[in-house]
């Protein structure tokens, strides 16, 4: 009888925080970890990239969950595909989620010349040419491609309201809400989809598999401060109460930047 190992608790602060992840998740101490700082003076222009091809349909029914680490919109459409750019294969959208801070001055995982943004959107895709399932691809080199957009406080973003309107249903951990309306996650990306940085890294949360090609758009997306505050309305654990009896809110769910270890960040633009 195979005894499934008990899931190990991890988080973003204290003993279970990022500095100790490697004790139970050894890959967290690897040589190609994410996130990283993008030093724009050291990026290398690569003129060989073909145009990025992002084809999402909006008739995908999906479900929104609070997994205790972020909100996750899982997508089950075989029509949401990504290819081109630095990618050799075709990738299918699996889910998208974000990382954010406790205020508008921090929250993104990657930084640009040391600047941290208020939040960061990750659209997670798996390689359907090389692997038979996302579970297989998630731990293999070239298995995962993550489209990434930085988010800053500014004008309201109407597209995000289609996601935020479901947050009241997922305030508590393991809350789930089904999203059926016509929503195309492409609306969450910046207008300019030709200028991006790309490098090879890892999942930014345990088990930190070194399977990810990051594609990070240069143009920053604006959402309002009120919309950012709605990200922070999610609760971490329904059971765990602060001594004030208040629920603990899910904030600062970003991993610190990791050593580049000689990796070169490529740029699609000069
Ligand atoms: C073996 C099960 C793995 C489940 C976790 O999957 C992940 C974790 C992190 C990312 S992220 N922040 O790097 O986009 C994407 C997907
Ligand atoms: Zn992420």
pLDDT, tens digit, 9 for 90 and up, residues 186-204:
999 999 999 999 999 999 9
Ligand 1 atom at minimum distance from 99 CA? 12
Q: At residue 61, does pLDDT exceed 80? A: no
Protein residue with its CA nearest to atom 16 in ligand 1: 203
What's the token pair of residue 201? 């890294």
CA of 70 to the centre of ligand 2 (A): 8
Atom 6, ligand 1: residue with shortest CA distance: 203
Measure 1 CA to ligand 2 centroid, in angstroms: 34
> Could you check whether the bond before residue 161 is cis, i.e. omega within 30 degrees of 0?
no
* pLDDT value at 2 more than 70: no
Which numbered ligand comes closest to the C-alpha of 215?
A: 1
Identify the pLDDT of residue 240. 53
Give the span between the Cα atoms of 129 and 58, in whole angstroms: 23
CB of 167 closer than 8 Å to CB of 130:
no
Residues annotated catalytic, as ranges = 69
Residue 136: DSSP 8-state:
H
Rounded to the nearest whole angstrom, what is the distance from the C-alpha of residue 229 to the centroid of ligand 1? Answer: 24
Residue showing tokens 């081109």: 84
For ligand 1, mutation pick of 138, 143, 150, 254 (most atoms within 8 Å of CB): 138
Predicted pLDDT at 238:
52
Question: For residue 21, how far is its CA from the centre of ligand 1 (angstroms)?
Answer: 14
- What is the pLDDT averaged over residues 157-164? 96
* pLDDT value of residue 267: 98
Predicted confidence at residue 5, as pLDDT, reads 79
Question: Residue 86 pLDDT > 80, yes or no?
Answer: yes
Ligand 1 atom having least distance to the Cα of 139 = 1
What contacts 163, CB < 8 A, 6 or more positions away? 64, 71, 73, 179, 183, 188
What percent of the chain has pLDDT above 70?
Answer: 96
Map tokens 């789930």 to a residue: 176
What residues line ligand 1, using a CB cutoff of 6 Å?
122, 124, 138, 146, 203-205, 207, 212
Sign of the Cα torsion 141, 147, 150, 153 reads negative
- Atom of ligand 1 lying closest to residue 203 CA: 13
pLDDT band, very low/low/confident/very high, at 237 (cuts 50, 70, 90): low
- Residues 164-171 have a mean pLDDT of 94
Nearest C-alpha neighbor of 25 from the set 202, 208, 204: 208
Coil, helix or strand at residue 227: helix
What value does the mean pLDDT of the chain take?
Answer: 94
For residues 208 and 25, the answer to whether their CB atoms sit within 8 Å is: yes
| pLDDT bracket for residue 178 (50, 70, 90) | confident
Q: What is the pLDDT of residues 118-132, one digit of tens each?
A: 999 999 999 999 999
- The answer to whether 213 touches 86, Cβ cutoff 8 Å, is yes
**Res. 244: pLDDT tops 70:** no
Q: Which of 41-55, 56-70, 91-105, 142-156 has the lowest mean pLDDT?
A: 56-70
pTM of the model: 0.96
């Amino acid at each position: 009888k195979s005894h499934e190992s008990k899931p190990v608790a991890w988080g973003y602060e204290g003993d279970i925080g990022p500095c100790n992840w490697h004790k139970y998740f050894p890959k967290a101490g690897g040589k190609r970890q994410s996130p990283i700082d993008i030093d724009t003076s050291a990026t290398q222009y690569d003129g060989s990239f073909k145009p990025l091809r992002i084809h999402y349909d909006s008739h995908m029914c999906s479900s929104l969950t609070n997994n205790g680490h972020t909100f996750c919109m899982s997508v089950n459409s075989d029509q949401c595909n990504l290819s081109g750019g630095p990618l050799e294969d075709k990738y299918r959208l699996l889910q998208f989620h974000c990382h954010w801070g406790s205020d508008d001055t921090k929250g993104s995982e990657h930084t640009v010349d040391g600047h941290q943004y208020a939040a960061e959107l990750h659209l997670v895709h798996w390689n359907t040419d090389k692997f038979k399932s996302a579970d297989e691809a998630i731990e293999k080199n070239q298995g995962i491609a993550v489209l990434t957009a930085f988010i800053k406080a500014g004008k309201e973003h109407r597209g995000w309201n289609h996601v935020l309107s479901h947050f009241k249903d997922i305030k508590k951990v393991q809350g789930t809400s089904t999203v059926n309306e016509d929503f195309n996650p492409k609306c969450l990306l910046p207008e300019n989809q030709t200028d991006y940085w790309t490098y090879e890294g890892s999942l930014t949360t345990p088990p930190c598999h070194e399977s990810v090609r990051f594609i990070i758009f240069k143009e920053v997306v604006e959402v309002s401060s009120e919309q950012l505050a709605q990200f922070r309305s999610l609760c971490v654990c329904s059971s765990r109460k602060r001594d004030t009896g208040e629920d603990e809110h899910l904030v600062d769910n970003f991993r610190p930047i990791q050593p580049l270890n000689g990796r070169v960040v490529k740029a699609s633009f000069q």
